[in-house]
Amino acid sequence: MKHGLIRPPLEYGSGFPTLLRKEVLRFYKVGFQTVAAPVLTAVLYLMIFGHVLEGREVYGRLSYTAFLIPGLVMMSVLQNAFANTSSSIIQSKVTGNLVFVLLAPLSHLEFYAAYILAAVFRGVVVGLGVFLITAWYGLPSIENPLWILIFAFLGAAILGSLGLIAGIWADKYDQLAAFQNFIIMPATMLSGVFYSIHSLPPAWQAVSHFNPFFYMIDGFRYGFFGVSDISPWNSLAIVTCFFIAVSVIALRLLQKGYKLRY
Amino acid sequence: MHPAISIKNISKHYGALQALDDVSLTIEPGEFFGLLGPNGAGKTTLISILAGLVTPNQGHAAIMGADVQKSFREARRMLGVVPQELVFDPFFTVRETLRFQSGYFGIRNNDAWIDEIMAYLDLTGKADSNMRSLSGGMKRRVLVAQALVHRPPVIILDEPTAGVDVELRQSLWQFISRLNQDGHTIVLTTHYLEEAEALCQRIAMLKQGKIVALDSTKNLLARYGSVKKDGEGKTDLEEVFVNIMSGGAL
């Protein structure tokens, strides 16, 4: 080595772009598991439910398959956004390599933004994959792409935040699986992905209004068909409030170092 | 000039367990400092507080004058930590691991320095190998490299040679000595006391969360030389350590 190891001070920027890139590369490197597999799962849902419920109409004019496609796309976006943050955090905690991020001069905001944007990116990539494959069954109309983008982003960011919270809270994979299987999965499946809530009995319709995932799916679907179970503005207001709430909780946990810094 | 490390009245408890009890310590720039103690004495807790991984219940710590809590960005940029556990991210290669670590500190276009560190630690041939495929010794070298990517003036090594073979241990000590000669402040915890004796200018011994000895290596040996000597009349650090830990605190 020609020079000593101490050099003049370096110019430092933010660690956020690198953490974001690392989180994206993490799922990209195992793309079969993180992208291809969920796309296949969604296609299987479409094949089975589309076939069984063929001939039914929703909102009086849509074929069931056309109605189902946006729901499946959004469900894939949500589930994969959750999976990205939750699996990354729990794996890093269990293997111990989270220490490399914790040792770096990253603020809780930078940490949060990097993990959530990576989750949004994975959710959107999988959602796009589902959309492109299922389009083979009949491309749904796109009435208002802005609503689609807004609800996709907010939904993925919410589930990314929930994944972050679950990953931080869980001490072992079993606990994370419980969070995913007993909270996220039922809330997603009962959110109106497979049906319009108007087809439900009044009591279950009322219950559905307490499920925030319903508003994400309904608002997202509005972007395709220009018709939804409730006003997209109401859905946007509720989804935005939910996003703020989970973001505040996640940021607070990161700021306090809950189960990360002792 | 600020001390490299300043620790003032640090206490930390985990429930009923008092891990650190009113510890104060100052380490000057350029020192090679040994932090010794039996398992559970509080060494790793103290290091974790300096690294910002653990928040003390009481007291303050600073790296090169930057408070580890209030000015955490500055403090962490001044500090490189080699953790005790052999931890790694199984998704990435050695080069990717070092690039990411550099990027976390906000340093981009750092490849020339990364290549230099890898060359120095004999990692160049493994640069594009996945971390999973490396031997334990190679993983340990990567941990050292990760601690150096942002060129910190203060380096803490938490039992860096635990479980590594003699050859690697020797080469790591040579490398760490070189870092110290180049001006880095080194803080070392180890259970290899003969190496601490050979390398460290000053030593603190921790027992049950308290500093029970703090002096230059030379003075510690001289002070306890009269207590216990080997057959040739020369005291070694192991004897001093055993004596202090058995109750003969300074």
pLDDT in tens, A13-44: 899 999 999 999 999 998 888 888 888 888 88
Which pLDDT does position B182 carry in this prediction?
87
The domain locations on chain A are: 16-256
Which pLDDT does position B118 carry in this prediction?
92
Element (H, E) at B86: none
Note whether A103 contacts B81, CB cutoff 8 Å: yes
Nearest CA in chain A to B15: A262
Q: Which residue has the higher pLDDT, B79 or B39?
A: B79
pTM summary value: 0.88
Nearest CA in chain B to A12: B106
Which pLDDT does position A10 carry in this prediction?
60
Nearest CA in chain A to B96: A22
Which pLDDT does position A164 carry in this prediction?
97
3-class secondary-structure state, position B202: strand
Which residues in chain B are contacts of A18 at CB distance < 8 A?
99-100, 102-104, 106, 108
3-class secondary-structure state, position A178: helix
* Straight-line distance from the first to the last Cα atom of chain B, in angstroms, rounded to the nearest whole number: 29
Which residues in chain A are contacts of B54 at CB distance < 8 A?
261-262
- pLDDT, mean of residues A134-162: 90
Interface of A with B in 10-49 (CB under 8 A): 10-15, 17-19, 21-22, 25-26, 29-30
Q: Classify strands B32-36 and B202-207 as parallel, antiparallel or unpaired.
A: parallel
Which pLDDT does position B226 carry in this prediction?
52
- pLDDT, mean of residues B141-148: 92
- Compare CB distances from A14 to B79, B106, B183 and report the shortest one's residue: B106
Which pLDDT does position A5 carry in this prediction?
52
Residue showing tokens 């992905």 = A193
Which pLDDT does position A8 carry in this prediction?
47
Interface of B with A in 178-237 (CB under 8 A): 178-179, 182-184
Note whether A95 contacts B89, CB cutoff 8 Å: yes
User: Which of B182, B199, B191, B83 shows the shortest CA–CA distance to B142?
Assistant: B83
Note whether A7 contacts B151, CB cutoff 8 Å: yes
- pLDDT, mean of residues A71-82: 94
Q: Which residues contact B67 (CB under 8 A, 6 or more apart)?
A: B60, B61, B75
Torsion angles phi and psi, residue B25, rounded to 5? -165, 140
Give CA–CA dist A113/B85, Å, rounded.
28
- Compare CB distances from B100 to A22, A99, A262 and report the shortest one's residue: A22
Which pLDDT does position B84 carry in this prediction?
87
| Residue A4: band (very low, low, confident or very high) from pLDDT cuts 50, 70, 90 | very low
Which pLDDT does position B212 carry in this prediction?
87
Q: Is A92 an 8 Å CB contact of chain B? A: yes
Give CA–CA dist B120/B114, Å, rounded.
10
| Residue A193: band (very low, low, confident or very high) from pLDDT cuts 50, 70, 90 | confident
Which pLDDT does position A238 carry in this prediction?
96
Interface of A with B in 198-237 (CB under 8 A): none
| Residue B232: band (very low, low, confident or very high) from pLDDT cuts 50, 70, 90 | low
Residue showing tokens 């994969």 = A80
Q: Which residues contact B237 (CB under 8 A, 6 or more apart)?
A: B193, B194, B196, B197, B203, B217, B220, B221
pLDDT of B149-207, one tens digit each? 998 999 999 988 777 778 888 888 888 898 899 889 999 998 888 888 888 999 999 98
**Rg of chain A (C-alpha set):** 20
Distance of CA B170 to the CA centre of its chain: 16
- Residue B234 pLDDT more than 60? no
Torsion angles phi and psi, residue B211, rounded to 5? -80, 120
- Beta bridge mates, B13: B18
- Compare CB distances from B106 to A5, A7, A12 and report the shortest one's residue: A12
3-class secondary-structure state, position B150: coil
Chain A: closest CA distance from residue B234 (Å):
36
- ipTM for the predicted complex: 0.87
Give CA–CA dist B48/B61, Å, rounded.
11
- Which of B14, B63, B99, B105 to probe by mutation at the A interface, max A CB count within 10 Å? B105
pLDDT of B59-99, one tens digit each? 999 999 999 999 999 999 999 999 988 889 888 999 999 99
| Residue B114: band (very low, low, confident or very high) from pLDDT cuts 50, 70, 90 | very high
Q: Are B68 and A68 in contact (CB under 8 A)?
A: no
Which pLDDT does position A179 carry in this prediction?
92
- Compare CB distances from B179 to A5, A29, A104 and report the shortest one's residue: A5
3-class secondary-structure state, position B163: coil
Q: Are A73 and A127 in contact (CB under 8 A)?
A: yes
Nearest CA in chain A to B82: A100
| Residue B14: band (very low, low, confident or very high) from pLDDT cuts 50, 70, 90 | very high
CB pairs under 8 A between A and B: 110
Question: Helices (DSSP H) in B80-163: which residue ranges?
Answer: 94-104, 111-120, 136-148
Length of chain A as a residue count: 262
Compute the mean pLDDT over every residue in chain B, rounded to the nearest whole number.
87
Which pLDDT does position A148 carry in this prediction?
95
Give CA–CA dist B144/A147, Å, rounded.
49
